[in-house]
A and B are shown apart, each in its own frame.
Chain A
Amino acid sequence: MSENLIEQLQTYAAQSNSKVSVPRKDETFIEVDQEHIKDFISHLVNDLRILHLATMTGLDLGQNIGIVYHFFQDENTINVKSTVPKTQPTALSIVDIIPGAILYEMEIHDLFGVTFTGNPWINQKLLLPDDWPADLAPPLLKTTKPAEIRKRLHLEVERK
């Protein structure tokens, strides 16, 4: 990654107490608080012109749920990480900055149960079946076991 871009990111990240790590030559990880995430991404998109959001990943981090925004610009990867507590899984939507994020947010809502405030389609299901039980935990959390999903959705195969 160009030195210039890293410096710019580090200066900006320092203002909001964010942590920058560069494990590989062209890959950067930045940890940003949930309250600053919209400012940070709007800075990336509008000031630094890093426009391409590849996707968003949800992570089960034990007490928290991690949300990673993967940006690419040429050979540089910029991964912006943010966490929300499992007890109150609400994050801010970035659809007003990047309209292409709408399906990725819906996907994380389906698979991790995070609600994104500001996403107009967030209450629709995208991937999960319509008859997914409301009291069953989201499928990609580590505590949700595949056997339990099969049982609740009546997907068990009888072995003879």
Chain B
Amino acid sequence: MSDEPKRREESAGLMEYSVENLVPFGPIHPALKEPEYFKLILEGEKIVQVIPRIGYVHRGLEKAAESRPWVQNMYMFERTCGICSFVHSLCYGQAVEGLTIYEVPRRAKYIRLIISELERIHSHLLWVGLMGHWAGFETLFMWVWNDREVVLDLVEAISGNRVHKSMNAFCGVRRDMPENMEDRIVERMKFITDRAHYYREVIDTEETMLARTENVGNKINQETAEKLCAVGPMARYVGLRHDVRLNDPYAAYDEVPFDIVTRTEGDVRALLRLRLDELVVSANMVSYAVKHLPDGPIRVKIAPIIPAGEHSAHCEAPRGEIFYYVKSTGGRTPDRVKSRQPTMANIPTALELLKGQELADLPMVLTAIDPCFGCMDRMSFLETESQKQWTWSGEQLRQYGIKHYFPERFNANSSKFKEDH
């Protein structure tokens, strides 16, 4: 064995499990979709330990921010994520606004809330579709992603873009709400509410979803979730009332009535129910906000130089708490910007959820945390007893899971599933 693959294995933390006949496999190329890498240690079918290795698409945004003007950074950080883009610029904006003396106009706060909640609906719908895909229930995937278009059309009508809205500015928003949108938004939100109720019924009665989600996932208690610093839905599904919108209201969340959803079952289906219920809450908030949208200016123009100081801000992204810290020395560029995404905070919890689970449940549990790296494209396996090793792609793992639960769906002729080991 050459030095090169051995070093790679050590860097992934397999020192104590390393064996002589370790099979090296190709590096994970950043051009693959959402490249992430988990090393699983198995005992038969049971997962004993999971070791994450992230950073394949780490692009050094924090370093780049130090050489760019304050305003430019806002639109750069918006490009962190292709799903929950608005909340990144919102959180960075709030961290910077904390260092200035200006107040955000009330109308801008409402517009920020509307876009945030539309984004949450779009992100949750996308996730429900992905759960259907990984469970082997493609119809759900098709339906849900079709309904998601309704929200994306609204976002496009308001901001001009489907994903990267570029709506935020310091102390305000860049575009006003179009006129005569109120009825249309309220009607679409009613549609989303109806569909959310319907999907609640589907996941509680449909055979595939029942088999793949009920009692799946290692159950954790509130204390563990608190200690592992779980955020967002991952904290709420064990019953913690952890939601930045409620605990530390920003934008117009202190003026719009709402209540957060918590559940206590502690399995993957609790997460499905929780996110579907959150769709209804978000739809109601959007309807309320467009009906009560106040008049007035939408932004305050501020100087491009931000006073010296440091400030941290957090917001509730669809996946959980998002955090930005900025430090200014009074110049045209930041001295330091730190950004922390909710998936990073939820990885320790996800690793805990996987312990003791069967290999076939892995795609469901990992997707359940709504990771920003939805498709774990390559996995390597190491069985402790026989010390056998092999590598699977995400698609092979998905098929393995479906076959484990529904072997009759794979007959000898039509099966594309290959035993690679």
Contact = CB atoms under 8 A, between A and B. Distances in A.
Interface string B244-273: 000111000000000000000000000000
B314 interface: yes
Given A24-B98, A130-B8, A140-B63, A100 B248 contact: no
B345 A128 contact: no
Interface string A34-78: 000000000000000001111101111000000010101011010
A54 B323 contact: yes
A68 B283 CA distance: 37
A103 B98 contact: no
Contact of A127 (B12, B55, B247): B55
Contact of B63 (A68, A101, A130, A146): A146
A75 B248 contact: yes
Contacts of A23: 309-311
Interface of A is mostly: mixed
A98 B51 CA distance: 19
Contacts of A19: none
A118 to B, nearest CB: 16
B338 interface: yes
Contact of B247 (A27, A51, A74): A74
A103 B338 contact: no
Interface string B1-41: 00000011001110000000000000000000000000000
Nearest to B12: A124
B12 A99 contact: no
Contact of A52 (B11, B12, B226): B226
B407 interface: no
Contacts of A24: 98, 311
Contacts of A51: 226-227
Nearest to A141: B63
Residue from the set B229, B248, B321 with the largest chain A CB neighbour count within 10 Å: B229
B396 to A, nearest CB: 24
Interface of A: 23-24, 26-27, 29, 51-55, 57-60, 68, 70, 72, 74-75, 77, 79, 98-104, 110-111, 121, 124-130, 139-140, 142, 146, 149
Interface of B: 7-8, 11-13, 51-55, 58, 60, 62-64, 66-67, 98, 226-230, 242, 247-249, 309-312, 314, 321, 323, 325, 327, 336, 338, 340, 344-345, 347-349
